[in-house]
Amino acid sequence: MQNNSPIDRIIAVSDKLPFAIHFYICQKVEQWLKSGGDPQGEYMVHLAEYAEKNVMEK
């Protein structure tokens, strides 16, 4: 069974992201979760989609 949570989606592509985008996403995820944001919420889904969209081809 595959877990497609937003955090899992971000982790799956994290090694293929440009450094600046990886850093930006990590900051936003950390800020969101520290402020009590829902790890399955719309904002996290948006960050996962942003990460997936910005994957660099190796």
2-54 confidence digits (pLDDT tens): 679 999 999 999 999 999 999 999 999 999 999 999 999 999 999 999 999 99
Residue 58 scores a pLDDT above 90: no
State the pLDDT confidence band at 1, using cuts at 50, 70 and 90: very low
Alpha-carbon span 12 to 17, nearest angstrom: 10
**Verdict on whether the full-model pTM lies above 0.75:** yes
Q: Report in angstroms the alpha-carbon separations of 37 from 1, 3, 13, 56.
A: 26, 19, 22, 28
